[in-house]
Amino acid sequence: MPAPEEGDRLPTRFLRAWAGSRYIPAKVKSEVWARDDGRCAWRDADGTVCGSRDWIEYDHVRPFARGGRSDDARNLRLVCRQHNQAAALAAGFSAGPPPS
Ligand SMILES: [Zn+2]
């Protein structure tokens, strides 16, 4: 789907759905991968970068659920599984199964 142009008279609902897509275009993925060198880009409080290559996933710096974009490399980073969960917890999402 092409990006809506500025000034297009598209229903707001459609624009929201497009901007809020979790789908990360291949071009953006490869840009993020190259920038982060295929390693976890998580930065500890003391500034140490994790650098792990284990179970790398794409993470939204600004959470998707809060309007973060999937089509902008600046809003994406690579994180290892451990730090993806840490990021999710920090954003207020439970990493575990829902309470029964
Ligand atoms: Zn990590």
Ligand 1 centroid vs 77 CA: distance in angstroms? 11
Distance between CA atoms of residues 78 and 66, nearest Å: 19
Q: Give tens-digit pLDDT for 11-27.
A: 666 555 555 467 899 99
The model's confidence at residue 6, banded by pLDDT at 50, 70 and 90, is: low
Ligand 1 centroid vs 12 CA: distance in angstroms? 37
Ligand 1 centroid vs 36 CA: distance in angstroms? 12
The model's confidence at residue 96, banded by pLDDT at 50, 70 and 90, is: low
Ligand 1 centroid vs 61 CA: distance in angstroms? 14
Count the Cβ atoms, other than its own, within 10 Å of residue 72. Answer: 16
